Amino acid sequence: MWEYWIAIVAGFALLVWGADKFVVGASGIARNLGVSPLIIGLTIVGFGTSAPEILISAIAAWNGNPGLAIGNALGSNITNIALILGVTAIIVPLSVHSGLLRREYPLLLAITLLALMLLLDGALSRIDGIILLATLAASLYWIVSMALKTRTSDPISREFETEIAIELPPDLSTLKAFLLFLFGLALLLASSRMLVWGAVHVAQYFGISDLVIGLTIVALGTSLPELAASIMSAIRNEHDIAIGNVIGSNMFNLLAVMGMPGLIAPGVIPDKVLSRDFPVMIVLTLALYAMSYGFRGPGRINRIEGTLLLAVFCGYQYYLFTTAII
C-alpha cells in the first residue's frame, strides 16, 4: 500500500516541477519570438497550469479509468473556485478591474452549460469530445482576438507584464527555453502516469470509485500550484491575474480535460456526475459570476464571501468522503 502513496506524493511533486519548467520554457520561446505578455498569460500560462490535469485525464482514460478523468475535470473546477479563490480572498480580498475578464465570465458560463447539455444523455461520446475540443480552439481564438484589440489598455495586461518579468529570466535564450519546455513535458508525462497508477490502486484498496478519487485527491493535488500562484498574485496586487487564472483553468478543464476521455474512452458517465457533482460546479460558477463580475463597478470577492466559498468546499469534500463509496 505504501508504494501507491509514494507514487501519488512523488507524482504530485514532479507534476508541479514539470509544469513550472513547461510554462517557463513555452513562455520564454513566445517572448523571444515577440509575443506580447498578455497573449502569453492568457494562453500559454493558462494552458500550462492545466497541463497536469489534461495529461492525467488522457492517461487515466487510456488506462480504462475515465471516471478518474471526469472527476479530475469537475473536481478541479470546484476546487479552483471554492478553495483557491476562497482562501485567496480570505487572505487578500480580491478586486476585479479587467474588462477582458468581464467578457470571459459569460464565456465560462456558456461553456459550463454546453458541457452539461452534452452529458445530459448520461454518456460522454467521441462526438462530445470533438465538440469540446473544437470549442476550446474557438474560445482560444476569441480570447486572443479580444486581447489583441485591448492591447495595453486593460489592467490585466500590465499585471501580466510584471508577472512575466518576475518569472522569466531576462537572459533566457530560445534554445534553453526549448530544452526547458521539452524537459517539463517529459516530467509531466512521467509524473502523470505515476500519479494515475497510485491513485487507481488507492481507490481499489479502499473500495472508492475512480470518480471520487478524481474529485478529491487528484483534483486537490493538481490545484495546489494554482492556489500558491493565486495567493502570490493577490499579495502582489495582481488581483485580475488571480481570478483570471481560475477562469482560464476552468475553461481548459471543461473543454480539454473532459474532452480527452470522450475521445479516448467514450462511454457512460457515473450517475453521480449529473446528480451531485455538476450541480455543485454550476452553483459555484454562478456564485463566481455574481460576486466578481461587477455589475455596478469593479467586481469584488471579500473575506465573508471567501469564507463561504471555503465552507462549501469543506462541506462538499466531507460529503464525498462519508458517502461516495462504490
Helix axes 278-292, 66-78, angle to 10 degrees: 30
Question: Residue 190 in contact with residue 55, Cβ under 8 Å?
Answer: no
Pairing of strands 123-124, 267-268: antiparallel
Helix (H, G, I), strand (E, B) or coil at 124: strand
| pLDDT tens sequence for the chain (326 residues) | 778 888 888 887 887 788 778 778 888 888 888 777 777 777 777 777 777 888 888 888 888 888 888 998 999 999 999 999 999 999 999 887 777 778 888 899 999 999 999 999 999 999 999 999 999 999 988 888 887 776 666 677 777 777 777 777 778 888 888 898 889 888 888 888 888 888 888 877 878 888 888 888 888 888 877 787 788 778 878 888 788 888 888 998 999 999 988 899 888 888 889 989 999 999 999 999 888 776 666 678 899 999 999 999 999 999 988 886 54
Count the Cβ atoms, other than its own, within 10 Å of residue 322: 8
| Residue matched to cell numbers 479530475 | 72
CATH number of the structural domain spanning residue 101: 1.20.1420.30
User: pTM value?
Assistant: 0.87
Distance of alpha carbon 41 from alpha carbon 58, whole angstroms = 24
Candidates 259, 279, 294, 319; CA nearest to 78 is: 279
Q: How many residues does the chain have?
A: 326
Q: Could you give the 3-state DSSP secondary structure of residue 299?
A: strand
- Cα angle value 41/88/90 (rounded, 5°): 155
Torsion sign over Cα 204, 209, 212, 218: positive
Residue 222, number of CB atoms within 10 A of its CB: 32
CB-based contact 83:228 (threshold 8 Å): no
Query: What's the CA dihedral at 235, 152, 99, 149 to 10 degrees?
Result: -150
Q: What's the count of helices (H) and strands (E) in the chain, helices before strands?
A: 16, 4
**Contact at 8 Å (CB) between 125 and 266?**
yes
Query: Cell numbers 470577492 correspond to what residue?
Result: 301
300: how many CB neighbours lie within 10 A of its CB?
Answer: 15
What amino acid is encoded at 113 in this protein? Answer: L
Which residue segment(s) compose the domain that 289 sits in? 2-323
- Number of compact structural domains in the chain: 1
Burial of 296 (0-12, 13-18, 19+ CB in 10 A): exposed
**Separation in Å, CA 186 to CA 22, 50, 252:** 9, 16, 21
Per-residue CA distances from 153 to 75, 147, 248 (Å): 34, 10, 20
